[in-house]
Amino acid sequence: MKMKSLAVLAVGSALLCAGPMAFAKDKLDSIIESGKLRCAVVLDFPPMGSRDSSNNPIGFDVDYCNDLAKVLGVKPEIVETPFADRIPALVSNRVDIVVGSTSDTLERAKTVGMSIPYFAFTMVVLTRDDKKIQNYADLKGHPVGNTVSTYEAIALEKDVKAWNDKKGSFLAFPTQADTILAVSQGKIDATVATSTVAFASIKSGKYDKRLKVGGNAPYPIDYVSLVAPRGEYGLINYLNLFVNQQVRTGRYAELYKKWVGEGKAPDLTVPGVYY
């Protein structure tokens, strides 16, 4: 027993002397040592992610990955990832993190780790100057529409029915682009879209110059997080601090203005909840 106790003490002393190096390296260490950060980014969701005329990845999420790689001192690697493949790509180690406008749901949190929100999708009314619509309540009595089967379409159609105004109507369109074009061409007077889509559509110049945002829609805010392997607390803590720094330094607001356009960057705090 005496010899065994001495052996245990010797091992303990060795570990104390070795310091941090005695512990296994985590994902954050691995990323830094590899010299690159592999980010899963959705590239068919402008202005968060898309490709330019030279086929280069661009967008808010692309720049966010680049910013994170810069502070880590590594090179960014944008891995184009469809919405449905974001979590599988992370779990299978094809990417290090997901910067893909991923809603912070409790169901996803069973599988992966999620940072504090780095972006928030708010819903707004997209209309035209000549329609005299200043807020969501003004939609009553107007022909409106949205993209079939989307959350916005379901909510808007429900309200149109509840308003029970004979002058009002609801039309469904197959794609988001069709919906925006319908507003632009006057087929409908307004729609409800995420602030990113609305401001990017106005900024693009592809539609009627009279397109405008007519106030916020009273729908829940969709908070999205950076995603990392569930057990990698060192990396998740770093991502939380990074998001915090992006806001504090003004970089978050800068990227919002660059990629979304006019308007104030959405508040990332949840009322009544500490982040």
Asked whether residue 229 carries a pLDDT value surpassing 90, the answer given is: yes
Average pLDDT over residues 87-110: 94
Task: Assess whether 96 and 157 both reside in one domain.
Answer: no
pTM of the model: 0.73
- What's the number of domains the chain is made of? 2
Task: Assess whether 189 and 229 both reside in one domain.
Answer: no
Task: Assess whether 36 and 109 both reside in one domain.
Answer: yes
65, part of any domain = yes
264, part of any domain = no
For residues 223 and 208, give the distance between their C-alpha atoms in angstroms, rounded to a whole number.
Answer: 30
Task: Assess whether 103 and 227 both reside in one domain.
Answer: yes
Task: Assess whether 110 and 82 both reside in one domain.
Answer: yes
Range of the domain at 29: 24-121+222-259
Average pLDDT over residues 36-49: 91
Q: What is the pLDDT of residue 174?
A: 85
Average pLDDT over residues 8-28: 61
Task: Assess whether 75 and 195 both reside in one domain.
Answer: no
Q: What is the token pair recorded at 256?
A: 């919002």
CATH number at residue 46: 3.40.190.10
> Which of 184, 201, 216 is the C-terminal boundary of a domain?
216
Q: Is the alpha carbon torsion for 78, 82, 83, 86 positive or negative?
A: negative
* 64 contacts: CB under 8 Å, gap ≥ 6: 99, 118, 246, 255
Q: What is the token pair recorded at 68?
A: 């994170």
* Least confident span in 164-168, 186-190, 200-204, 233-237: 200-204
pLDDT tens, residue by residue, 146-183: 988 777 888 899 999 999 999 999 999 887 788 999 99
Give the closest residue to 208 by CA, choosing from 235, 236, 180. 180
pLDDT tens, residue by residue, 43-56: 877 889 989 999 99
89, part of any domain = yes
Task: Assess whether 31 and 90 both reside in one domain.
Answer: yes
Asked whether residue 57 carries a pLDDT value surpassing 90, the answer given is: yes
